[in-house]
Amino acid sequence: MKKLLLQGTFAALLLILASCSRKSGYDRMAYMENARQYLPGPAEKENLKQRLEARGKRYDPELSLIAEHVSPDANIYHSAMRDTWAHGIRRNASFAGDLLDSGDPDMQEMAFRIWNSVLSYQDQDSLSPTFGIWPYYAEEPLDSMINPDWNWADFIGVELLESYMRHYDVLPDSLKAKMEDAIIDAAFSIMRRDVKPGYTNIAIMGTLVTQLAARLFDIPELQEYADMRLKRFYDYTRELGGFEEYNSPTYTVVALDELMRMKQYLLEREALEMVDYCYTLAWEELATHFHPPTAQLGGPHSRSYSTLLRQDFYNLLYTASSGEIRYGHPRENRGSYKLKHRIPDDLVPRFKHLDAEALVIDTFSMGPNPVVGTTWLHPACCLGTANRSTTWEQRRPWILYWGSDTVPRYLRVRLLHDYVDFGVGNIFSVQDHGRVLSALNFATDGGDYHLLLDRIRDGHFRASDLRLRFECSPAGLSELMKVRNSGFTFSDEGIRLSLNMLHAEFGILDIRIETGRDERNSWVDWVIYGGPETDFFLTALNRAVFGWYMEIIAGPPQSSDRENDREMPTEAESRISGENLLLQSGNLFLSVPVKPGREENLQSHWNSRTD
């Protein structure tokens, strides 16, 4: 008998499970048979085995795990492992699933050993604060991590469920029992954490784990929670008309993957109707922001790991359109047999060509102070901004693309301290097509590198360099830029751009403009400080704020504008009124606080309008 004592919200819950004879109120074998539809065919198995043989050379028989190299900047939010070889738990879970899919008896024997090892690292103490999750690496126990990652219950829970359902007939009985216990522990960890719908990808993934665990093992309390969680996410998403983790090149794709898993693995009609709606909505979000002339996803992006799209994104479009959408050097995504993505037929053309200039306005959150995105799609360029956001390194709240699908260009804004993204900046924008007013102020409790895990306290941080950067790619754009005291201009690939800094102030420091480039990018910086490492106290500043205006004219240049040293005519002004910086240009107006303050207050006390 197995007893689960759950703390927090579920402190009163006592669930006794018979681990040797779980009987489901559902036809468990129906789930197994359904899941086997998504096993690879003969040709896919051969390709899979070739890839697995190379990875299998890193197998460590002592730990029954494969090793991987940890990059110098990997997982810096959660783990202290850097630039070394280690045995990644999630990577091994995925590898074990692939070994099972190969159908090769020897590879499946290795999978059994790896799964037994992976399961041994799960925290199965129901009274532990990390109950149900795994560490990142075998070499770094949960209590040694910087911040244990509760998402590992979701990510590894999905891997477990797929291996369990798709290979139930070949798994040893002893391993099946361990997998069942681990799935249930992960599901209850997810229930105890209770991620809300705004954390889109984990909200979906945890719903999948709890839905399947509840039905496979007939756990009424878990089923009640899983059904509530799916309905809550569906209602929230339908009311919002999109995802709060909005328009993300990374996480909208993760959401698609997990919604597709639900479409494939869930069997209940009511649940599938809700999932189908959300799945279609995810494709609509990508389609309405995709800019075919540059083959980029127009901003703003709530979370992004790369400013330019990677080939995997194009491979997904290629696979999900049956080869109709082609960018880069497309091929079917590895493991595409697992997830049978299909772009709705009416959306496929939107990924292939831009029929006309468009202005897309989205509301990305609910409440009296919603996040609103504006995306201008033009044949020559694509400009996207969020009305309010932060300078966290995963955000792209202010991003311009132009150029071509083979050589895309971009311009983005970053706040850096010691040349690393600094999350304390708050960016506000108001946009009308190719014109945008923007401002940046400073949060005394903002994130340093991560938006939550390493917030600064009382406005204090140390730095030897602090700057606001306008970063361009590729690096050769530096040769086209004309930089002046108030900003810069350039003409390139069908656009003429002018950016004027209307206000730049950080206490009593003298701010200077500096340009630079490396092998990939060029930039124009407003340097706030550069010198010996020193202490900064944002709470001691009465004013720390930047405000700028950017205008883009798209299309062939007029003869009078062919010389790039001729400034584009712009009418924009700024002034301080009480505790606010006021910016105005024509029909655009923006007001933000000038004094650093708590992020919540700064994000609430601002104003904008488009007359």
- What's the CA dihedral at 236, 240, 242, 247 to 10 degrees? -110
pLDDT tens digit sequence for 545-563: 999 999 999 976 554 444 4
- What percent of the chain has a predicted confidence (pLDDT) above 90? 87
Query: Which tokens go with 270?
Result: 């009511």
Rounded to whole angstroms, the Cα distance separating 81 from 63 reads 18
Of 287, 491, 524, 248, residue with least CA distance to 380: 491
Query: Which tokens go with 68?
Result: 């991987």
Q: What is the 3-state secondary structure (H, E, C) of 230-245?
A: HHHHHHHHHHHCCCCC
3-12, 311-320, 368-377, 570-579: least confidently modelled range:
3-12
pLDDT tens digit sequence for 331-374: 887 788 999 999 999 999 999 999 899 999 999 988 889 999 99
19-23, 242-246, 436-440: least confidently modelled range:
19-23
Give burial (CB, 10 Å; 0-12/13-18/19+) of 106: exposed
Whether residue 4 is predicted with pLDDT greater than 90 in this model: the reply is: no
Neighbours of 53 (CB within 10 A): 12
Whether residue 610 is predicted with pLDDT greater than 90 in this model: the reply is: no
Is the Cα torsion angle 194, 196, 197, 199 positive or negative in sign?
negative
pLDDT at 567: 46
Query: Which tokens go with 116?
Result: 């037994």
Whether residue 26 is predicted with pLDDT greater than 50 in this model: the reply is: yes
Of 325, 304, 303, residue with least CA distance to 316: 325
| Phi, psi torsion values for 562, nearest 5 degrees | -70, -30
Q: Which helix (H) or strand (E) holds 469?
A: strand 460-473
Rounded to whole angstroms, the Cα distance separating 525 from 415 reads 10
Query: Which tokens go with 328?
Result: 């880069």
Whether residue 18 is predicted with pLDDT greater than 80 in this model: the reply is: no
pLDDT at 12: 34
Question: Given the DSSP bridges, would you call strands 408-417 and 420-421 parallel, antiparallel or unpaired?
Answer: antiparallel
Rounded to whole angstroms, the Cα distance separating 553 from 178 reads 63
pLDDT tens digit sequence for 460-509: 999 999 999 999 999 999 999 999 989 999 999 999 999 999 999 999 99
> What is the length of the chain?
611
Whether residue 7 is predicted with pLDDT greater than 90 in this model: the reply is: no
Neighbours of 315 (CB within 10 A): 19
Average pLDDT over residues 430-443: 98
Average pLDDT over residues 74-82: 84
pLDDT at 6: 40
Average pLDDT over residues 242-260: 94
pLDDT tens digit sequence for 182-200: 999 999 999 999 999 999 9
Rounded to whole angstroms, the Cα distance separating 521 from 351 reads 27
Long-range contacts formed by 150-154: CB under 8 A, 24+ apart: 150/189, 150/193, 151/202, 151/205, 152/89, 152/90, 153/186, 153/187, 153/189, 153/190, 153/193, 153/206, 153/209, 154/186, 154/190, 154/202, 154/205, 154/206, 154/209
What residues pair up with 403 in beta bridges, in sequence order? Answer: 408
pLDDT tens digit sequence for 277-325: 999 999 999 999 999 999 999 999 999 999 999 999 999 999 999 999 9
Confidence of residue 570 (pLDDT cuts 50, 70, 90): low
Contact 385, 376 (CB under 8 A): no
pLDDT tens digit sequence for 407-417: 999 999 999 99
Rounded to whole angstroms, the Cα distance separating 71 from 85 reads 9
pLDDT at 556: 65
pLDDT at 557: 53
Contact 388, 427 (CB under 8 A): yes
CA distances for 350 relative to 31, 132, 297, angstroms: 36, 42, 12
pLDDT tens digit sequence for 133-154: 999 999 999 999 999 999 999 9
Neighbours of 56 (CB within 10 A): 15
Question: Given the DSSP bridges, would you call strands 573-577 and 544-554 parallel, antiparallel or unpaired?
Answer: unpaired
Average pLDDT over residues 12-38: 64
> Which residues have CB under 8 Å from 186's CB, separation 6+?
122, 132, 133, 153, 154, 156, 157, 160, 209, 213
Give burial (CB, 10 Å; 0-12/13-18/19+) of 9: exposed
Give burial (CB, 10 Å; 0-12/13-18/19+) of 54: exposed
Contact 244, 365 (CB under 8 A): yes
